[in-house]
Amino acid sequence: MLKAFVFGMTIAAAVGPIALLIVNYSLTHGLCQGLRSALGAAGADFSFALVAFLAGHGAARIVEARRFVEIAAGIGLVLFGTWLAVAALGRRMPVGPSVAAGDARRVRPLLATYVLTLINPLTIVAFLGLAPQLPLGQSAWMAGGLAASLFAGSLVVQILFALAGAGIGRSVARPEVIRTLNVASGAGIALFGIAGLSRVVG
């Protein structure tokens, strides 16, 4: 259980596209939306862990389809990151945590972050490496307990990212600064996708 908890924290602590996305939501739409995004990321980690842990060592079969998943995920990250950057450039002032309630409802941070985390190739590779190190395939209760421990560890770190984004939003209240940070965040997510595609294709 402790190993799964620490692994959840470790995989979440990697500053990648998901971390940037959580910070972006919290920075642009406020802490509440950032926390929803954090829950989506941790929920995706839980879902992947539960499936991988229930499958036990058989989860390694996913390796056969990993190349296609990585390509799809890379394209998805590039498109999503580009959309975030373009949307930030086109957003009217003011921007930031004071976003209107109607706009906040359209954000859907939990669902967006959940889906992107689930198809993130870094997540897939990490779980494939962890699965053989845990006592899997013994019972569904064991797999569920390990997945819950991993979820808790992941959620702790994801919440810290959300708090960081909200803190940045409060400290840099100037709309143009927040817009620049949002563009940089979107560009960073797109670059992660490009890096993933180049690694797979290369």
Residue 22 has pLDDT above 60, yes or no: yes
Q: What is the pLDDT of residue 32?
A: 92
Residue 202 has pLDDT above 70, yes or no: no
Q: Domain boundaries in the chain?
A: 2-201
Ranges 100-114, 164-178, 179-193: which has the least confidence: 100-114
Residue 4 vs residue 95, higher pLDDT:
4
Residue 200 has pLDDT above 90, yes or no: no
Q: What is the pLDDT of residue 92?
A: 54
Q: Which two tokens stand for residue 122?
A: 């870094």
Using omega within 30 degrees of 0 as the cis cutoff, is the peptide bond preceding 94 cis? yes
pLDDT tens profile 94-117: 444 444 444 444 558 898 899 888
Q: What is the pLDDT of residue 129?
A: 60
Which range among 7-16, 63-72, 192-201 has the greatest average pLDDT?
192-201
Residue 43 has pLDDT above 90, yes or no: yes
Residue with tokens 């797979």: 200
Reduce the DSSP state of residue 12 to 3 states and report it: helix
Question: How many percent of the chain have pLDDT more than 90?
Answer: 12
Q: Is the Cβ–Cβ distance between 153 and 49 less than 8 Å?
A: no
Distance CA 192, CA 117 (A): 13
pTM of this structure:
0.69
Q: What are the residue ranges of helices labelled H in the chain? A: 2-13, 17-29, 31-55, 63-90, 101-107, 109-118, 121-130, 140-171, 175-201
Question: How many percent of the chain have pLDDT more than 70?
Answer: 70
Q: What is the pLDDT of residue 112?
A: 86
Q: What is the pLDDT of residue 100?
A: 40
Q: Which two tokens stand for residue 71?
A: 């390509």
Q: What is the pLDDT of residue 36?
A: 94
Residue with tokens 């997945």: 147
Query: Which letter does DSSP use for residue 91 in this model?
Result: P
Average pLDDT, the chain: 75
